[in-house]
Chains A and B, each alone.
Chain A
């Protein structure tokens, strides 16, 4: 019983560690497309043409938002898998998914 409890908390710790690693990676991308590409590197990137507009302008007014969107959906998908791998998904008795009405 004690051993089982220890295993459980160890498993949870590992789950948490992997989760935080995913979060860090995604936040680095988050900062690179917004704060870096559209602000810190705005001047050099405005010399680079991206179709009809400068690259930095595209990141500032379109690309960053699209990337944010991909990041959130990727995280939701990735965490669904991680929950399953560590067997920590929640058990909902009434309905199996959170999606359907």
Chain B
């Protein structure tokens, strides 16, 4: 199925580059269509020379190789309790993955907590499969150029089952509201030896650290771009990374201490991000430099 999608993309890419035979009118129309498409349909990254390369990478994304790994891990009977993850409820019922990740984080009645994808995975892998939580946390973020971690592959597979579904984070439950407000508070909270909060880099459109684009995460559009594209293949690391990894790396650059894996701090920021990004169709794996 993946192969088919990739092929389809390649086909479209190829047909796009072949000029229509000798007909200047057709060429003009094609040019017009491509201008309209570039302006209207592609997100912010269609603006400069760097974006051309990024777009090409997105269309041939090595991250897709991790989806099959994640799928195999999901259905495999594993762990001290010898269970698969088919009974794991990501919010739409046990094993129902279609569109489920697009609605995370959300409140779960069984744990009485708001959980994002990664914390929900920890819940299921400990409760259903009997894995030890501390070991899962320790191995969740893999070494660069490794085969990646189980959680990275699982997170990608589960999110890929929401591809095409618009992000739809609800704040109906009081705990979801509280989580969102906490995330908003944390986004603007400055501390450390560099006085950084998230907003210092992600508060305005069209900003960069050196050549790296920074998404404006207080805006609908900026948050959509980010919320819909994790987990993502990170080119410089040759592995698939999750949103928790992204937060860790931000916190590292902010000169803050080590961020523990999947705490409420991360869930709150993720709730704020994804809620702000509501409406964007999920498209994973994303591709990051």
Q: Does chain A bind chain B?
A: no
Residues of A whose CB lies within 8 Å of any CB of B are: none
